[in-house]
Chain A
Amino acid sequence: MPRDRRIYIASALLLCVGVAAALIVRDDYTVKLMLWIATSALLAACLRFVLLIGELNIATAAFYGIGAYTAGVITTIFNGPLVLAMLAAAVVAGLVAAVFGFITLRVKGPYFLLISFAFTEVVRLKYTQSNIIGGNSGMIGIFPPVAIEPYYPAIMIAIIGLVLIGLYAIERSPLGMLFKAIKSNDQIVLSVGISVLVVKVICVVIASAALGLGGALYAHSNNVISPGDFGFLLSVFVLAYVKIGGEEHMVGALLGAAFLTLLGQYLMGVGAHERIFFGGAIIIAMLVMPQGLTGLALQLGRRLGWATPAASLGQHK
């Protein structure tokens, strides 16, 4: 598919630019900002990945946290290598997701939403009760090895970029089609002899493994993690990224993540009114552009008569 190839080439180019920027830019704040956008984008892509099967996974924050804590334990308590920490984070998050998914994906819609919400809160409470991982105050001193520390932002952006491209490739593959088929009508999928439950579990496991890896990367870039970082409110913000960016296409989720992260940083500077602005922004965005930024771009494109490039974003179903 030529259009697909164009997207892959464009994203590979973007990835190179990002990595290069992370290597060249010396300003600490700018680099941090880039990393925040990258992690937000990963979170948004993973939440959207489970939206493909039509489920809203509030436990996105929980799996991100499981990855971060796994990596933190390996790095600070066992002094393990960074690669091992990242792999273990992905594997542990994936395994927990397999068990979680196998139990909970039998229900759907509001029930899945609420149960994933409950799961997130249980996991968070468990962290606060476990003294070995720092209880309420969390873990400190999670650093990447000194030798690679200057290159760590570039490595992080490279890995996240590759994971995002991978998620997109899966979405476009036959498996991705199956996810969307389940969203449209799971009975039809069932009727041709495919186990809907297994496919749904696969979807959640893929997203969660990616989240676990992301959590490990975050833990090493932030150096400090605490239970409060992984509450359900994180998933809520991520859902806002996806919704405001537009959930039709992965680009929408990434745009939303970048836009709202930057907006959030700007509002932090404004001060105490952050919540009011953020809440207001979400409501206004939902009222003015129910299809998100990409939907708005699409409409604008149609009106101006050059719908083709923008339209191609939204119209693969």
Chain B
Amino acid sequence: MDLTVQLIVNTLQIGAVYVLFSLGLTLIFGVMKIVNFAHGEFFTAAALAMSVVVPWFAKALGLSAIPVFALSFCVSVLVVLALGLVVYKFGFERYLRDLIGSFIVSIGFVLLLEGLYLEIFGGAPRIIPPLIPGVANILGAAITWQRLLICFLALAITFGLYFLVARTKLGLALRAVAEDQEAAMLQGIKYRRVALYGFLIGCGLAGAAGAFMAPLAAITTFMGADFLIKAFIIIIIGGLGSIPGAILGGFIIAAIESFGSYYFDSSTATIALFVLVIVGLLVRPQGIMGHAER
């Protein structure tokens, strides 16, 4: 019983970050119809930024841990947004709705950014001090307080995005463009501007996920790549472009991973994921929550 609870708690806390990361990817796909292989680089950028900014703020301002992290989080996400803007302007802007062209461009950015990160930050893993110490106990399952806090924050952002897409005018525009770009333009929606906003929100989500992961894992220049492959699986399972699908998919994958790696081993769990994708696509090509698309 304790074991099951522990595995469920693990699922929830890994899943929360997966969801955040995949939401960005699925949003960008929905609005721009591109598969952004560079998404992981935004994640990495935020984590690397945290590794620089957190110690700096702690030293220069002498604040306690929580405000330092809050400030660093904001700075890291801003850095990612700026990077996203550059990537959009010098790359994706010309390849909107061009699956193969944008794929190549995004790979170009993957190589370029990964090379630059390695050049600037070096190959050694970086570690930042924990946000808050201590371990919480939920129904017999142990989880560190900081993981619990981060899990809640990630869920809060997810709800925030859900609200944004479901209730605001920008959300309506995003949905309209994802549904039918031409019809949306006929209604006076400025497609390019909406695409840019969608892309930046997606980058911001990747950045938030990266900043949240920073205190939890060793920060390396290639940590985004692993997340990227999982995020692809998540959005295929959930349905490309579907926000509820990404949320559901994120937790399904996290569950398979934490239960699978406990009962078998982690590379079997990874293969099981891929097999699941292939079988899932056969049964329901548009994903769990996706719409059939032409």
Contacts and interface: CB of A to CB of B under 8 A. Distances in A.
Interface of A: 51, 56, 103-104, 106-107, 109-111, 113-115, 117-119, 121-122, 125-126, 128-129, 236, 239-240, 243, 272-283, 286-287, 290
Contact of B116 (A104, A121, A128, A276): A276
A113 B111 contact: no
B236 A115 contact: yes
Contacts of B112: 275-276, 279-280, 283
List the 4 closest A-B pairs by CB distance, nearest first: A279-B111, A279-B112, A275-B115, A282-B108
Interface string B100-134: 11011101111111111011000000000000000
Contact of A106 (B101, B111, B285): B285
B240 to A, nearest CB: 6
Contacts of A109: 99
A239 B277 contact: no
A122 B275 contact: yes
A115 B119 contact: no
B103 A113 contact: yes
Contacts of A280: 108, 112
Nearest to A237: B107
B216 interface: no
A239 B103 contact: yes
A283 B108 CA distance: 5
B171 interface: no
Interface string B203-230: 0000000000000000000000000010
B108 A56 contact: no
B115 A118 contact: no
Contacts of B113: 279
B267 interface: yes
Contacts of A126: 271
B108 A110 contact: no
Main SS at interface, chain B = helix
Given A111-B285, A279-B109, A122 B274 contact: yes
Interface string B186-205: 00000000000000000000
Given A115-B281, A118-B277, A286 B240 contact: no
B20 interface: no
B90 interface: yes
Contacts of A125: 267, 270-271, 274
Contacts of B81: none
Given A56-B103, A119-B278, A128-B267, A107 B111 contact: no
A275 B104 contact: no
B233 interface: yes
Contacts of B115: 273-279
A278 B110 CA distance: 10
B interface residue count range (under 10 / 10 to 19 / 20 to 34 / 35 or more): 35 or more
B244 interface: no
B101 A286 contact: yes
A12 to B, nearest CB: 31
Given A122-B274, A290-B94, 4 more contacts: A56-B103, A115-B281, A118-B274, A239-B107
Interface of B: 29, 33, 35, 90-91, 94-95, 99-101, 103-105, 107-116, 118-119, 229, 232-233, 236, 240, 267, 270-271, 274-275, 277-278, 281-282, 285
Contacts of A239: 100, 103-104, 107
Contacts of A272: 119
Contacts of B100: 51, 56, 239, 243
A290 B101 contact: yes
A147 B116 CA distance: 48
A107 B101 CA distance: 20
B278 to A, nearest CB: 6
Nearest to A106: B285
Nearest to A103: B282
Q: Which of B100, B101, B105, B233 has the most CB of A within 10 A?
A: B100
A128 B113 CA distance: 28
Contacts of B275: 122
Contact of A110 (B29, B233, B274, B282): B29
Contacts of A274: 115
A107 B281 contact: yes
Contact of A240 (B33, B107, B119, B267): B107
A276 B119 contact: yes
A123 B119 CA distance: 32
B26 to A, nearest CB: 11
Contacts of B229: 121
Contact of B111 (A119, A278, A287): A278
A56 B281 contact: no
B108 A114 contact: no
